[in-house]
Amino acid sequence: MAAVTASAGRLWRLRAARAEGPWRGLCGAGLLRGFLQPASAGGEAAPRRQVAHFTFQPDPESQEHGQTQKMNLFQAITSALDNSLAKDPTAVIFGEDVAFGGVFRCTVGLRDKYGKDRVFNTPLCEQGIVGFGIGIAVTGATAIAEIQFADYIFPAFDQIVNEAAKYRYRSGDLFNCGSLTIRSPWGCVGHGALYHSQSPEAFFAHCPGIKVVIPRSPFQAKGLLLSCIEDKNPCIFFEPKILYRAAVEQVPVEPYNIPLSQAEVIQEGSDVTLVAWGTQVHVIREVASMAQEKLGVSCEIIDLRTILPWDVDTVCKSVIKTGRLLISHEAPLTGGFASEISSTVQEECFLNLEAPISRVCGYDTPFPHIFEPFYIPDKWKCYDALRKMINY
Residues that are catalytic? 126, 196
Which contiguous run of DSSP H or E holds residue 138?
helix 126-138
| Cβ–Cβ under 8 Å, residues 266 and 215 | no
The pairing of strands 68-72 and 248-252 is: antiparallel
| Amino acid in position 151 | D
312 or 374: whose CB is closer to another protein? 374
Shortest gap between Cβ of 110 and another protein (angstroms)? 17
Phi, psi of 368 (to 5 degrees): -80, 160
For another protein, the binding residue among 141, 267, 381, 390 (CB under 8 A) is 381
211 or 241: whose CB is closer to another protein? 241
Helix axis angle for 280-295 and 379-390, nearest 10°, is 50
100 or 175: whose CB is closer to another protein? 100
Among 70-78, 152-160, 257-265, 285-293, the segment contacting another protein (CB under 8 A): 152-160
The Cα 6–Cα 344 span in angstroms is 35
Phi, psi of 6 (to 5 degrees): -65, -45
Binding to another protein by residue 151, rule CB under 8 A? yes
| Cβ–Cβ under 8 Å, residues 374 and 346 | no
For another protein, the binding residue among 124, 140, 175, 294 (CB under 8 A) is 124
CA terminus-to-terminus distance, the chain: 25
For another protein, the binding residue among 7, 55, 139, 162 (CB under 8 A) is 7
230 or 372: whose CB is closer to another protein? 372
For another protein, the binding residue among 18, 33, 206, 294 (CB under 8 A) is 33
Region of residue 335 (phi > 0: left; psi between -120 and 50: alpha; otherwise: beta):
left
Overall size of the chain counted in residues: 392
Among 62-70, 147-155, 208-216, 287-295, the segment contacting another protein (CB under 8 A): 147-155
Binding to another protein by residue 371, rule CB under 8 A? yes
Which contiguous run of DSSP H or E holds residue 349?
helix 337-349
Shortest gap between Cβ of 198 and another protein (angstroms)? 11
Shortest gap between Cβ of 34 and another protein (angstroms)? 3
Q: 302 forms bridges with which residues in the sheet?
A: 265, 275
262 or 380: whose CB is closer to another protein? 380
User: Restricting to residues 237-296, which ones interact with another protein according to CB under 8 A?
Assistant: none
The Cα 232–Cα 138 span in angstroms is 11
Shortest gap between Cβ of 3 and another protein (angstroms)? 8
Helix axis angle for 73-87 and 218-230, nearest 10°, is 30
DSSP letter string over 278-342?
TTHHHHHHHHHHHHHHHH---EEEEE--EEET--HHHHHHHHHHHS-EEEEEEEESTT-HHHHHH
User: Restricting to residues 60-119, which ones interact with another protein according to CB under 8 A?
Assistant: 96-97, 100
For another protein, the binding residue among 29, 161, 333, 353 (CB under 8 A) is 333
Shortest gap between Cβ of 66 and another protein (angstroms)? 36
Helix axis angle for 337-349 and 312-322, nearest 10°, is 60
36-55 footprint of another protein as x/- string (CB under 8 A):
xxxx--x---x---------
| Cβ–Cβ under 8 Å, residues 84 and 143 | no
The Cα 59–Cα 290 span in angstroms is 19
Binding to another protein by residue 351, rule CB under 8 A? no
25 or 178: whose CB is closer to another protein? 25
70 or 388: whose CB is closer to another protein? 388
For another protein, how many residues bind (rule: CB under 8 A)? 60
Phi, psi of 67 (to 5 degrees): -65, 140
The pairing of strands 143-146 and 180-186 is: parallel
Binding to another protein by residue 4, rule CB under 8 A? yes
39 or 351: whose CB is closer to another protein? 39
Instruction: Using CB under 8 A, list all residues that contact another protein.
Output: 1, 4-5, 7-8, 11, 24, 26, 33-39, 42, 46, 96-97, 100, 121, 123-125, 127-128, 151-152, 154-155, 191-196, 332-334, 358, 360-366, 368-371, 374-378, 381, 384-385, 388
